[in-house]
Each structure stands twice: as C-alpha cells, then as structure tokens.
Amino acid sequence: MKPSTNKLLFTVTDRIDDTEIGPRSVPLNLLGEFQKEVKEFLIGTTHDVDPKEVTVSIEDGSLAFVVSGFLVAASLLSDIEKLRTSHSLDHIDSKRAHVIERWQSASAQNPNRRYFVANKTTQLGFSVDSNSNYSRSDEIWVNVEKYLDGIVIDLGGKKDANVHLDVQGKILKISASRNLLAEEEKNRLYRPSIIRVTAEENLVTGDLRNYQLLSFETNCPTYDDDEFRRMVEKGTRAWSDVPDNWLEELRGGSA
C-alpha cells in the first residue's frame, strides 16, 4: 500500500508600488524569505518532513506555493488545525511558532501583507495579517534535574567540553566540565548511557534547555517490587496516627 501524501498551500499577498505581487513580479528578498519560512514551517524542530521529498509549484495570483510529495506528518497537520482554531502558540512546534511570529510582525508593519496556509484538499487553514493576535503565554523557566537515557555519539571538544546524546533520534548537546569527562573511566562513546543533568524547563511547554552534565550513572535504574512494598509499609506506619479528615482540619474545618 502506498503511503498517504498530502498537499499544502502557502500564500503571501502584498502590494509593491501599488502592484499586486505574483509569480511574474515579486521582490527577490521576499521570495527568498518566504521560501525559507515555508521550509522551516514544514520541517519544524522534529524534522517531520524530509525536504528532499517535497515538490513545490507556484500558482497564479498572489505568490502561492503548493507543497506536495511528502508523507503526511501528523504533528504538522495538527499544528495547522490548532492555528486555525486558536490564537495560542503555546502548544505548537516552537519553530513553527517562530515563523508565525515573524509573519505577524511583517504584517503589522505592512497592512498589505497577508499570509495564508491551508490543506489544499479541504481548503481549511489559517491566515496571518495586520489584525492577527497570535501570542504565547509568558514563558516561565525553572531549574530542574533530569535523567536522560540515550546513546553518546560524541564527547569532549577542543574549546567547550560537551556531550552529544542521541535520545530517540533527537541530538542533545550537554555542557560538561573537562575534569568530569577526564575522570570518567568507562568508554561511553557509541554506547547506551543514562546521565544525570541539570536543565531549565518551560512550565508551559515542557521544553528543556541549557543542559549541564552532573554525572554518568553506573547502573540502570530498575523497578524492585520488594523495595516498593517496604516503602509503602513504612509510609503507612508513619501516617497511622494522622486522622482521615486532616485536610479538612488544615483548611479550617468542615462546613
């Protein structure tokens, strides 16, 4: 069975010297910027679409790209639907959100500028113009400690020491101290590893950034049923004298 493919329509409308732009008349810088932004929107941070599989045709009218030939990417279509039904950028791919912000900024400076993205088959999509109000919630980043499970594909560095960890196909660059890497006795390169890091986590999106290596874990953590039962019994004994209605009393008593 042949994999399902889809067609997407990307258009930009503008007037230059009182002339509508189109395939026969478009500023070179606008053509280059729009082509780059369409590619960035398609690929996203997770590279849902392989640019080598994409075919682009230019339609008459405003500058319109019809993108086809690629396999259907669920997250790409999902993000387009979210942008069609909501003005929040919090829950779409971060690279696509950046593209929308750039389009919105360009339209705010030029009321003639308008962008439109749609599924070519259903014609359902979204537009960005001078009246759009796509936005993100205030970003809050907190310091966290995490365990990462992946394969070390590179470590060291002449100038800045770091570890490159492949986590399910996504390459994370993790800063490290030279002393910590020098003291590591086990050869970690191209081997599965669990490492402990600090990072900053976005409370809205869950994204992580600014990784810092703390240690390589010597043993893979496993679930121990006996240990779990002992912990439950210990906790039960510790709470045995606490009344069942302790929460109501803490809140000031029942009504």
* Domain extents in the chain: 8-128, 141-216
Residue 71's pLDDT band (boundaries 50, 70, 90)? low
pTM for the structure as a whole: 0.55
Does pLDDT of 137 surpass 70? yes
Alpha carbon distances (Å) from 9 to 38, 105, 206, 212: 10, 21, 30, 41
pLDDT digits over 191-200, tens only? 899 999 999 9
141-216 maps to CATH 2.40.50.140: yes
* Range scoring the smallest mean pLDDT among 63-77, 142-156, 164-178, 222-236: 222-236
Rg (CA), the chain: 26
132-139: long-range contacts (C-beta < 8 A, 24 or more apart)? 132/87, 132/104, 132/107, 133/87, 134/83, 134/87, 134/88, 134/89, 134/100, 134/101, 134/104, 135/87, 135/88, 135/89, 136/88, 136/89, 136/90, 136/97, 136/204, 137/88, 137/90, 137/204, 139/202, 139/204
Q: Which of 183, 182, 184 is nearest to 193 (CA)?
A: 184
Quote the pLDDT of residue 46. Answer: 77
Identify the sign of the CA torsion 181, 183, 184, 185: positive
Q: Averaged over 82-107, what is the pLDDT?
A: 92
Average pLDDT of every residue of the chain: 83
Q: Which of 107, 108, 135, 7 is nearest to 64 (CA)?
A: 7
Helix count and strand count (H, E) for the chain: 6, 12
